[in-house]
Amino acid sequence: MRRDIFLHFLNRDTREIFGIYRTLNKDLHSTLIRRALNAAIVLCEDCCIAPPGFIIEDQIAFELAENQCAYLTEGLLRFPMRESSLEEFAEKKRIGYEPMRDRYSGLFNDTRIGFLGENATGIIGRRSHITERILEDWREGPESGHRIWKPVKGILVSAHVDLVAKVPVELSERGTALTWAAIAPHLPREAGAASTELRDVLQHIYFRQYCSEFKLVVLTEIPHIIRDFLLPHDSLVYSYRRLSVFLRWTPSVGQESG
């Protein structure tokens, strides 16, 4: 049985982690994620899934959604959320992201919210509580034995891991969204050596909730996306590289053997 695909590469933080904004100009960057999205649409069972924030927050992702609007209107792109409407979604997000408004200005853009409302037929419900799971896993994860924490524990001593675990709780109590942009400035100085590993942990916990609830895999071997945050995958089937090689070597009509 084939699987639907979680579009982890549409997340701006994912592409920042791998330096894509620095290493590629905007045209090449846009081409990369357009090709990755097209590959995901080809390979998925019924649809591809991403939080609506992936589209709203980032200019490049939003322009891609505009250009590939048919994916939205045909329900090939679906957007899970707990809120009952995009307006409620936007209102809730704007409260938590207000301290980072400059960075997440797209969430405060009514035009983008309106575009999704007018075109996205795949707005679906979500049961999972993302913030609660981040708090739980960040607090208890280092002792859980999950391998996503292993690199962190290999760098930081236990006392510093304990300090790190408290940061999301303090931010959540203030009503601040648990993004890396919010967490990073509040980490103890000693945690700086493990900042890359901690950011990977946050991505894993965040994305895993969608993969678990909707039984999703991620597209692997996308150029420049060099890690998959230990998310569910099947590189024999859901691989950007394998699909591109197949398409490049597929015989033209009239050249088939036999």
Residues 151 and 222 in one domain: no
- The CA–CA distances, whole Å, from 32 to 242, 246, 255 equal 16, 18, 30
Residues 46 and 115 in one domain: yes
| Amino acid 139: pLDDT | 85
Q: Say if residue 255's pLDDT is above 70.
A: no
Q: Is residue 257 part of a domain?
A: no
Which residues, 6+ apart, have CB-to-CB distance to 85 below 8 Å? none
3-class DSSP assignment, residue 176: coil
Dihedral in degrees, nearest 10, Cα atoms 76, 81, 82, 85:
-90
Spell out where the chain has E strands: 4-6, 48-49, 77-81, 123-125, 216-218
Residues 106 and 224 in one domain: yes
Q: What is the mean pLDDT of the chain?
A: 92
pTM attached to this predicted model: 0.92
- How many domains would you assign to the chain? 2
Q: Is residue 164 part of a domain?
A: yes
Residues 25 and 148 in one domain: no
Percent of the chain's residues with pLDDT above 90: 82
Residues 178 and 98 in one domain: no
Quick one: average pLDDT of 187-210?
94
Q: Is residue 258 part of a domain?
A: no
Instruction: For residue 197, give both structure tokens.
Output: 């590993």
Residues 145 and 89 in one domain: no
Q: Is residue 208 part of a domain?
A: no
Q: Say if residue 63's pLDDT is above 80.
A: yes
Residues 41 and 103 in one domain: yes
Residue 185 burial by Cβ neighbours in a 10 Å radius (0-12, 13-18, 19+): exposed
Q: Is residue 256 part of a domain?
A: no
Where in the sequence is the domain holding 167, given as residue range(s)?
131-202
3-class DSSP assignment, residue 78: strand
3-class DSSP assignment, residue 22: helix
| Amino acid 142: pLDDT | 77
Residues 25 and 92 in one domain: yes
Phi and psi torsions of 217, nearest 5°: -120, 170
Residue 39 burial by Cβ neighbours in a 10 Å radius (0-12, 13-18, 19+): buried
Residues 19 and 124 in one domain: yes
Residues 151 and 115 in one domain: no
Summarised one tens digit per residue, pLDDT across range 139-181 is 887 777 788 999 999 999 989 988 998 999 999 999 999 999 9
Residues β-bridged to residue 128: none
Residues 196 and 230 in one domain: no
CA distance 97 to 215: 28
Q: Is residue 120 part of a domain?
A: yes
Summarised one tens digit per residue, pLDDT across range 103-137 is 989 999 999 999 999 999 999 999 999 999 999 99
| Amino acid 249: pLDDT | 66
Single-letter amino acid code for the residue at 174: R
Q: Is residue 255 part of a domain?
A: no
Residues 91 and 144 in one domain: no
